[in-house]
Amino acid sequence: MPDSAILLIHCPDRKGIVAAVADFICRHNGNILHADQHQDASLGLFFMRVEWDLGGFDLDLADFAAEFEAIAREFRMRWRLERSSARPKAAIFVSRHDHCLADLLYRHRSGELACHVSLVISNHPDASDLAGFYRVPFHHVPVEPGNREAAEEEQLRLLDAHGIDLVVLARYMQVLSPAFVARYPQRIINVHHSFLPAFSGPRPYHRAFERGVKLIGATSHYVTNDLDEGPIIEQDVVRVSHRDQLEDMVQKGRDLEKVVLARAVRWHALHRILVYANKTVVFD
pTM above threshold 0.85: yes
Backbone φ, ψ for residue 162 (5° rounding): -100, 5
- Residue 202 has a pLDDT of 82
Q: In what order do the strands lie in the sheet with 4-12?
A: 31-40, 45-53, 4-12, 78-83
Please give the positions annotated as active site: 228
Going by C-alpha positions, the residue among 107, 66, 72 that lies closest to residue 90 is: 107
Please spell the DSSP secondary structure of the chain, one letter per residue: ---EEEEEEEEE--TTHHHHHHHHHHHTT-EEEEEEEEEETTTTEEEEEEEEE-TT--S-GGGHHHHHHHHHHHTT-EEEEEETT-PPEEEEEE-S--HHHHHHHHHHHTT-SSSEEEEEEESSSTTHHHHHHTT--EEE----TT-HHHHHHHHHHHHHHTT--EEEESS--SPPPHHHHHHSTT-EEEEESS-TTTT-SS-HHHHHHHHT-SEEEEEEEE--SSTT-SPEEEEEEEE--TT--HHHHHHHHHHHHHHHHHHHHHHHHTT-EEEETTEEEE--
Residue-wise pLDDT tens digits, 228-278 = 899 999 999 999 999 989 999 889 999 999 999 999 999 999 999 999 999
Say whether pLDDT at 204 is over 90: no
Say whether pLDDT at 132 is over 80: yes
Say whether pLDDT at 2 is over 80: no
- Residue 201 has a pLDDT of 81
Domains of the chain, start order: 4-83 (3.30.70.260), 89-282 (3.40.50.170)
Residue 196: pLDDT band with limits 50, 70, 90 = confident
Residue-wise pLDDT tens digits, 97-130 = 999 999 999 999 999 999 999 999 999 999 999 9
Say whether pLDDT at 1 is over 70: no
Q: In what order do the strands lie in the sheet with 89-94?
A: 138-140, 116-122, 89-94, 166-169, 188-192, 215-222, 232-239
Taking residues 8-14, report their average pLDDT: 98
- Residue 149 has a pLDDT of 94
Contact 222, 188 (CB under 8 A): yes
Amino acid at 130: L
- In percent, the amount of the chain with pLDDT more than 90 equals 87
Cα separations in angstroms, 261 against 115, 163, 228, 229: 14, 22, 14, 16
**Mean of per-residue pLDDT scores for the chain:** 95
Say whether pLDDT at 195 is over 90: no
Residue-wise pLDDT tens digits, 137-192 = 999 999 998 899 999 999 999 999 999 999 999 999 999 999 999 999 999 999 99
Q: Are strands 215-222 and 166-169 parallel, antiparallel or unpaired?
A: unpaired
